[in-house]
Structure 1
Amino acid sequence: MSVSGEFIAENEQRLLQLGQALSFCDCRGITVYLQGDLGMGKTTFSRGVITGFGHRGAVKSPTYTLVEPYEFQAITVYHFDLYRLGDPEELEYMGIRDYFNDDSLCLIEWPVRGIGVLKEADLELTLTLQGAGRRVVWRAFNDAAEALATEWQQHYGVAGKQQ
Protein backbone atom coordinates (compact mmCIF):
# COMPACT_ATOMS: atom_id res chain seq x y z
CA MET A 1 0.00 0.00 0.00
CA SER A 2 1.23 3.48 -0.83
CA VAL A 3 -0.91 6.61 -0.97
CA SER A 4 0.61 9.98 -1.84
CA GLY A 5 -0.06 13.67 -2.15
CA GLU A 6 1.73 16.98 -1.98
CA PHE A 7 1.89 20.33 -0.29
CA ILE A 8 3.35 23.57 -1.58
CA ALA A 9 5.05 25.73 1.04
CA GLU A 10 5.59 29.09 -0.66
CA ASN A 11 8.28 30.21 1.79
CA GLU A 12 10.08 29.24 5.00
CA GLN A 13 7.19 30.42 7.19
CA ARG A 14 4.76 28.17 5.33
CA LEU A 15 7.17 25.23 5.71
CA LEU A 16 7.22 25.85 9.48
CA GLN A 17 3.40 25.99 9.43
CA LEU A 18 3.29 22.70 7.54
CA GLY A 19 5.33 21.11 10.32
CA GLN A 20 3.17 22.73 12.98
CA ALA A 21 0.05 21.37 11.29
CA LEU A 22 1.46 17.85 11.67
CA SER A 23 1.83 18.44 15.41
CA PHE A 24 -1.94 19.01 15.66
CA CYS A 25 -2.50 15.40 14.59
CA ASP A 26 -2.13 12.13 16.46
CA CYS A 27 1.41 11.20 15.41
CA ARG A 28 2.17 8.69 18.14
CA GLY A 29 3.96 5.61 16.86
CA ILE A 30 4.77 7.19 13.49
CA THR A 31 8.15 7.17 11.77
CA VAL A 32 8.70 9.92 9.18
CA TYR A 33 11.54 9.80 6.69
CA LEU A 34 12.62 13.26 5.50
CA GLN A 35 14.22 13.14 2.05
CA GLY A 36 15.79 15.97 0.07
CA ASP A 37 19.09 17.54 -0.83
CA LEU A 38 21.05 19.77 1.54
CA GLY A 39 19.21 23.01 2.20
CA MET A 40 15.77 21.77 1.18
CA GLY A 41 14.18 22.44 4.57
CA LYS A 42 14.17 19.11 6.39
CA THR A 43 15.33 20.72 9.63
CA THR A 44 13.02 23.71 9.13
CA PHE A 45 10.08 21.33 8.75
CA SER A 46 11.18 19.42 11.87
CA ARG A 47 11.46 22.70 13.78
CA GLY A 48 7.85 23.42 12.84
CA VAL A 49 6.71 20.05 14.19
CA ILE A 50 8.68 20.38 17.41
CA THR A 51 7.62 23.96 18.14
CA GLY A 52 4.06 22.98 17.24
CA PHE A 53 4.12 20.53 20.14
CA GLY A 54 5.15 23.39 22.42
CA HIS A 55 8.95 23.45 22.51
CA ARG A 56 10.37 26.90 23.14
CA GLY A 57 14.00 27.36 22.31
CA ALA A 58 16.44 26.35 19.62
CA VAL A 59 15.77 23.40 17.36
CA LYS A 60 18.85 22.59 15.35
CA SER A 61 19.81 19.62 13.28
CA PRO A 62 21.41 16.90 15.43
CA THR A 63 24.11 16.33 12.82
CA TYR A 64 26.79 15.40 15.34
CA THR A 65 24.66 13.85 18.11
CA LEU A 66 22.53 11.86 15.58
CA VAL A 67 19.38 12.27 17.69
CA GLU A 68 17.79 14.95 19.82
CA PRO A 69 14.80 14.05 22.04
CA TYR A 70 11.97 16.48 22.79
CA GLU A 71 9.64 15.28 25.54
CA PHE A 72 6.07 16.52 25.78
CA GLN A 73 3.15 15.39 27.90
CA ALA A 74 1.61 12.95 25.42
CA ILE A 75 4.50 12.26 23.04
CA THR A 76 8.26 12.25 22.67
CA VAL A 77 9.62 13.52 19.38
CA TYR A 78 12.98 12.12 18.32
CA HIS A 79 14.70 14.21 15.68
CA PHE A 80 17.39 12.23 13.88
CA ASP A 81 19.96 13.51 11.40
CA LEU A 82 21.98 10.64 9.96
CA TYR A 83 24.00 12.73 7.48
CA ARG A 84 27.31 12.06 9.25
CA LEU A 85 26.56 8.43 10.14
CA GLY A 86 29.55 6.33 9.13
CA ASP A 87 27.93 2.89 9.26
CA PRO A 88 24.30 1.87 9.88
CA GLU A 89 25.53 -0.55 12.55
CA GLU A 90 26.37 2.49 14.73
CA LEU A 91 22.62 2.85 15.20
CA GLU A 92 22.50 -0.55 16.90
CA TYR A 93 25.09 0.62 19.44
CA MET A 94 22.97 3.61 20.38
CA GLY A 95 19.90 1.41 20.94
CA ILE A 96 17.98 2.68 17.92
CA ARG A 97 15.09 0.25 18.35
CA ASP A 98 14.19 1.77 21.72
CA TYR A 99 13.22 5.05 20.05
CA PHE A 100 10.45 3.51 17.96
CA ASN A 101 7.47 2.99 20.25
CA ASP A 102 3.77 3.77 20.50
CA ASP A 103 4.38 7.07 22.32
CA SER A 104 6.98 8.56 20.00
CA LEU A 105 7.22 10.38 16.71
CA CYS A 106 10.52 9.80 14.90
CA LEU A 107 11.60 12.40 12.33
CA ILE A 108 14.57 11.04 10.39
CA GLU A 109 16.72 13.17 8.10
CA TRP A 110 18.97 11.25 5.69
CA PRO A 111 17.33 7.85 6.38
CA VAL A 112 19.19 6.26 3.45
CA ARG A 113 22.28 6.21 5.69
CA GLY A 114 20.53 3.86 8.12
CA ILE A 115 19.04 1.36 5.66
CA GLY A 116 18.98 -2.15 7.03
CA VAL A 117 18.83 -1.00 10.65
CA LEU A 118 16.12 1.67 10.74
CA LYS A 119 12.45 0.88 11.14
CA GLU A 120 10.66 1.31 7.83
CA ALA A 121 8.89 4.62 7.29
CA ASP A 122 5.20 5.01 7.93
CA LEU A 123 5.29 8.36 6.15
CA GLU A 124 7.93 9.65 3.75
CA LEU A 125 8.35 13.31 2.82
CA THR A 126 10.47 14.46 -0.11
CA LEU A 127 11.30 18.16 -0.21
CA THR A 128 12.33 19.87 -3.45
CA LEU A 129 12.54 23.44 -4.73
CA GLN A 130 9.32 25.04 -5.93
CA GLY A 131 10.02 28.65 -6.91
CA ALA A 132 11.04 30.48 -3.73
CA GLY A 133 9.45 27.77 -1.61
CA ARG A 134 9.31 24.00 -1.34
CA ARG A 135 7.25 21.22 -2.81
CA VAL A 136 6.66 18.51 -0.22
CA VAL A 137 5.56 15.17 -1.66
CA TRP A 138 4.30 12.71 0.94
CA ARG A 139 3.77 8.98 0.73
CA ALA A 140 1.90 6.98 3.35
CA PHE A 141 2.81 3.29 3.62
CA ASN A 142 0.08 2.06 5.97
CA ASP A 143 -3.44 2.87 7.17
CA ALA A 144 -2.26 4.84 10.22
CA ALA A 145 -0.04 7.08 8.08
CA GLU A 146 -2.79 7.54 5.51
CA ALA A 147 -5.21 8.66 8.25
CA LEU A 148 -2.52 10.96 9.62
CA ALA A 149 -1.93 12.50 6.17
CA THR A 150 -5.66 13.14 5.73
CA GLU A 151 -5.89 14.87 9.11
CA TRP A 152 -2.66 16.79 8.42
CA GLN A 153 -4.01 18.14 5.13
CA GLN A 154 -7.08 19.48 6.94
CA HIS A 155 -4.97 21.26 9.56
CA TYR A 156 -2.64 22.76 6.96
CA GLY A 157 -5.63 23.84 4.91
CA VAL A 158 -6.91 25.82 7.88
CA ALA A 159 -3.52 27.51 8.20
CA GLY A 160 -3.55 28.56 4.55
CA LYS A 161 -3.24 27.33 0.99
CA GLN A 162 -2.97 23.58 0.54
CA GLN A 163 -2.58 21.56 -2.63
Structure 2
Amino acid sequence: MSGTQWQVEAADEAAMVALGRGLAAVAQPALVVHLEGDLGMGKTTFSRGFIQGLGHEGAVKSPTYTLVEPYQLGQLEVFHFDLYRLGDPEELEFMGVRDYFREDAVCLVEWPGRGAGILPPPDIGINIVPAGLGRRLDIRAATVLGDTVLGRWRRRHLSH
Protein backbone atom coordinates (compact mmCIF):
# COMPACT_ATOMS: atom_id res chain seq x y z
CA MET A 1 0.00 0.00 0.00
CA SER A 2 1.87 3.09 1.19
CA GLY A 3 5.09 3.82 2.99
CA THR A 4 7.37 5.09 0.26
CA GLN A 5 10.24 7.09 1.74
CA TRP A 6 12.69 9.52 0.22
CA GLN A 7 15.52 11.66 1.52
CA VAL A 8 16.68 14.72 -0.37
CA GLU A 9 18.98 17.57 0.57
CA ALA A 10 18.49 21.30 0.07
CA ALA A 11 21.77 23.21 0.14
CA ASP A 12 20.14 26.62 0.54
CA GLU A 13 16.91 28.61 0.44
CA ALA A 14 16.71 28.49 -3.36
CA ALA A 15 16.95 24.69 -3.28
CA MET A 16 14.17 24.53 -0.66
CA VAL A 17 11.94 26.73 -2.83
CA ALA A 18 12.73 24.51 -5.83
CA LEU A 19 11.71 21.40 -3.88
CA GLY A 20 8.40 23.05 -2.98
CA ARG A 21 7.86 23.94 -6.63
CA GLY A 22 8.67 20.37 -7.59
CA LEU A 23 5.97 18.99 -5.31
CA ALA A 24 3.50 21.59 -6.61
CA ALA A 25 4.14 20.41 -10.17
CA VAL A 26 2.83 16.92 -9.33
CA ALA A 27 0.31 17.69 -6.56
CA GLN A 28 -3.34 16.88 -6.98
CA PRO A 29 -6.53 17.79 -5.13
CA ALA A 30 -7.19 16.25 -1.70
CA LEU A 31 -3.45 16.11 -0.89
CA VAL A 32 -2.52 16.77 2.75
CA VAL A 33 1.14 17.54 3.50
CA HIS A 34 2.52 17.82 7.03
CA LEU A 35 5.72 19.86 7.43
CA GLU A 36 7.72 19.23 10.58
CA GLY A 37 11.03 20.53 11.87
CA ASP A 38 12.41 22.98 14.39
CA LEU A 39 12.07 26.75 14.03
CA GLY A 40 14.08 28.07 11.10
CA MET A 41 14.33 24.76 9.24
CA GLY A 42 12.55 26.02 6.11
CA LYS A 43 8.95 24.87 6.41
CA THR A 44 7.58 28.23 5.27
CA THR A 45 10.25 28.51 2.56
CA PHE A 46 9.16 25.12 1.21
CA SER A 47 5.51 26.22 1.40
CA ARG A 48 6.34 29.43 -0.49
CA GLY A 49 7.91 27.40 -3.31
CA PHE A 50 4.87 25.12 -3.40
CA ILE A 51 2.32 27.96 -3.50
CA GLN A 52 4.31 29.98 -6.05
CA GLY A 53 4.79 26.80 -8.08
CA LEU A 54 1.01 26.68 -8.45
CA GLY A 55 0.97 30.20 -9.87
CA HIS A 56 0.69 32.55 -6.88
CA GLU A 57 2.66 35.69 -7.66
CA GLY A 58 2.38 37.60 -4.40
CA ALA A 59 4.13 37.15 -1.09
CA VAL A 60 3.67 33.95 0.87
CA LYS A 61 3.88 34.65 4.56
CA SER A 62 3.56 32.22 7.39
CA PRO A 63 0.04 32.32 8.84
CA THR A 64 1.45 32.17 12.37
CA TYR A 65 -1.22 34.46 13.83
CA THR A 66 -4.17 33.65 11.58
CA LEU A 67 -3.43 29.88 11.66
CA VAL A 68 -4.51 29.45 8.02
CA GLU A 69 -4.01 31.38 4.79
CA PRO A 70 -6.14 30.44 1.76
CA TYR A 71 -4.93 30.70 -1.84
CA GLN A 72 -7.21 30.29 -4.85
CA LEU A 73 -4.96 29.10 -7.67
CA GLY A 74 -6.96 28.36 -10.78
CA GLN A 75 -9.32 25.49 -10.01
CA LEU A 76 -7.31 24.49 -6.94
CA GLU A 77 -7.61 25.97 -3.49
CA VAL A 78 -4.58 25.68 -1.20
CA PHE A 79 -4.77 26.13 2.55
CA HIS A 80 -1.48 26.90 4.30
CA PHE A 81 -1.63 26.24 8.03
CA ASP A 82 0.92 27.25 10.66
CA LEU A 83 -0.09 25.82 14.02
CA TYR A 84 2.95 27.02 15.96
CA ARG A 85 0.90 29.39 18.13
CA LEU A 86 -2.06 27.05 18.56
CA GLY A 87 -2.83 26.86 22.27
CA ASP A 88 -5.03 23.78 22.23
CA PRO A 89 -5.98 21.40 19.37
CA GLU A 90 -9.65 22.02 20.28
CA GLU A 91 -9.25 25.55 18.84
CA LEU A 92 -9.15 23.89 15.42
CA GLU A 93 -12.66 22.54 15.98
CA PHE A 94 -13.94 26.06 16.73
CA MET A 95 -12.49 27.37 13.46
CA GLY A 96 -14.14 24.55 11.49
CA VAL A 97 -10.86 22.97 10.43
CA ARG A 98 -12.53 19.93 8.86
CA ASP A 99 -14.09 22.23 6.24
CA TYR A 100 -10.62 22.96 4.83
CA PHE A 101 -9.66 19.34 4.19
CA ARG A 102 -11.75 18.82 1.07
CA GLU A 103 -11.47 16.71 -2.05
CA ASP A 104 -10.90 19.85 -4.16
CA ALA A 105 -8.19 21.43 -1.98
CA VAL A 106 -4.58 20.89 -0.99
CA CYS A 107 -3.53 21.49 2.62
CA LEU A 108 0.00 22.27 3.81
CA VAL A 109 0.31 22.08 7.59
CA GLU A 110 3.31 23.43 9.51
CA TRP A 111 3.62 22.20 13.12
CA PRO A 112 0.98 19.46 12.66
CA GLY A 113 1.78 17.91 16.05
CA ARG A 114 0.03 20.85 17.71
CA GLY A 115 -3.21 19.76 16.10
CA ALA A 116 -2.86 16.09 17.08
CA GLY A 117 -6.17 14.27 17.44
CA ILE A 118 -8.03 16.87 15.37
CA LEU A 119 -6.12 17.07 12.07
CA PRO A 120 -6.59 14.37 9.48
CA PRO A 121 -3.50 12.24 8.85
CA PRO A 122 -1.14 13.35 6.09
CA ASP A 123 -0.77 11.83 2.66
CA ILE A 124 2.86 13.00 2.75
CA GLY A 125 4.88 13.87 5.82
CA ILE A 126 8.07 15.93 5.51
CA ASN A 127 10.50 16.31 8.39
CA ILE A 128 13.21 18.93 7.81
CA VAL A 129 16.47 18.62 9.74
CA PRO A 130 19.91 20.27 9.55
CA ALA A 131 22.41 18.68 7.15
CA GLY A 132 25.78 20.41 7.04
CA LEU A 133 25.08 24.00 6.01
CA GLY A 134 21.77 23.02 4.41
CA ARG A 135 18.79 20.85 5.21
CA ARG A 136 17.71 17.26 4.69
CA LEU A 137 14.08 16.47 4.01
CA ASP A 138 12.93 13.08 5.25
CA ILE A 139 9.80 12.45 3.21
CA ARG A 140 7.34 9.63 3.70
CA ALA A 141 4.09 8.71 2.01
CA ALA A 142 1.35 7.56 4.37
CA THR A 143 -1.49 6.86 1.91
CA VAL A 144 -2.01 5.58 -1.61
CA LEU A 145 -2.44 9.19 -2.80
CA GLY A 146 0.81 10.08 -1.02
CA ASP A 147 2.62 7.18 -2.70
CA THR A 148 1.39 8.28 -6.13
CA VAL A 149 2.34 11.93 -5.66
CA LEU A 150 5.69 11.13 -4.01
CA GLY A 151 6.59 8.75 -6.85
CA ARG A 152 5.89 11.46 -9.43
CA TRP A 153 7.82 14.03 -7.38
CA ARG A 154 10.91 11.79 -7.09
CA ARG A 155 10.89 10.96 -10.81
CA ARG A 156 10.54 14.63 -11.72
CA HIS A 157 13.31 15.65 -9.30
CA LEU A 158 15.71 12.98 -10.55
CA SER A 159 15.09 13.89 -14.20
CA HIS A 160 16.09 17.55 -13.66
Q: Which category describes the TM-score, using the shorter chain as reference length?
A: over 0.9
Match of 1:125 in 2: 126
What residue is the counterpart of 2:55 in the other structure?
Answer: 54
Letter in 2 for 1:58: A
Partner of 1:25: 26
Q: Tell me which amino acid in the other structure corresponds to 1:88.
A: P
Alignment correspondent of 1:84: 85
Q: Following the alignment from structure 1 to structure 2, what is the Cα–Cα distance between the partners of residues 97 and 43?
A: 22
1:66 aligns with 2:67: yes
Question: How far, CA to CA, are the matches of 1:27 and 1:49 in structure 2?
Answer: 12
Structure 2 unaligned regions, length at least 5:
none
RMSD over aligned Cα atoms: 1.0
Partners of 2:7 and 2:107 in 1: CA distance: 20
Q: 5+ unaligned residues in a row in structure 1: which ranges?
A: none
Paired residues of 1:30 and 1:122 also in contact (CA < 8 A):
yes
Cα distance in 1 for residues equivalent to 2:11 and 2:159: 15
Count of paired positions: 159
Q: Which letter does structure 1 place at the counterpart of 2:134? A: G
Matched-pair contact (CA < 8 Å) for 1:76–1:105: yes
Q: Does 1:114 align with 2:123?
A: no
Deviations 1:40-91 (A, max 9, x none): 0000000000000011111111000000001111211100000000111110
Q: How many Å separate the matches in 1 of 2:75 and 2:154?
A: 22
Secondary structure of residue in 2 paired with 1:43? helix
**Residue number in structure 2 paired with 1:7:** 8
TM-score (norm 2): 0.96
TM-score after normalising by structure 1: 0.94
The Cα shift of 1:108 comes to 0.3
